[in-house]
Amino acid sequence: MTSLSLIHRFVPASRPGRPPLLLLHGTGGDESDLLGLGQTVAPGAALLSPRGPVSENGMPRFFRRLAEGVFDEDDIRVRADQLAGFVAEARAEYGLPAPVAVGFSNGANIAAALLLLRPETLAGAVLLRAMRPLAVPPRPDLAGRPVLMLSGSLDPIASDATATALAGDLSAAGAAVEHRRLPAGHGLSQADVALARAWLDGAVPAAAA
């Protein structure tokens, strides 16, 4: 769909009461990339899945980077505002409550930036292989906001140090962070899927539109 400010796909809810998911793909993914994951971890939830508006050598991303693991923080701030605006448009268009982000890699990083820069946008987040997006983050009021971080202990891209720093940033802002380290690399495993599903079933309350 292209009627809103970002190309996206929307799947209406088939089970009332579940919070919608904002699906945020990794580098080179698109708006269809995480639909299957969303349907698996939150059966029946509405799914809102935008395509990253930045192109890196033809691969969609949600913000620019200067090198592997080196982020353009000015662009992160611009793109977080852009994504927050899109979510507001989609909520009005589709009648949605605040979504829970499910982001992988670059998508997890922009979801973390949304929590820190535009906290009103999300009801919570599942951050899969996330890195710290901002070296000096703001301190928003995230009191009680549920966040699940799943990191890979063998991940060559999102190191334990940067993931731990992000968990600390979110916890310092008051978020209820659960950070799990799995014996995995940067790719997702069945353990990620199972843990995300169980957490979404138990940690995130239904929200009213």
- Nearest CA to 97 out of 87, 83, 85, 110 is that of 87
Contact 96, 90 (CB under 8 A): yes
* Structure tokens belonging to residue 5: 């400010």
Quote helix, strand, coil % in the chain, to nearest 5.
Answer: 35, 20, 45
Write down the catalytic residue from 105, 151, 179, 192. 105
Task: Examine the residue annotation and report whether 159 is marked as an active-site residue of this protein.
Answer: no
**In the 8-state DSSP scheme, what is residue 14?**
S
The residues facing 59 across adjacent strands are 56
Known catalytic membership, residue 105: yes
Note if 72 is an active site residue: no
**Residues 102-139 as b or e (16 or more Cβ within 10 Å = b):** bbbbbbbbbbbbbbbbbbebbbbbbbbbbbbbbeebee
Q: Which of 33, 155, 169, 192 is catalytic?
A: 155
Q: Which of 5, 72, 186, 189 is catalytic?
A: 186
Query: Which residues are identified as catalytic?
Result: 105, 155, 186
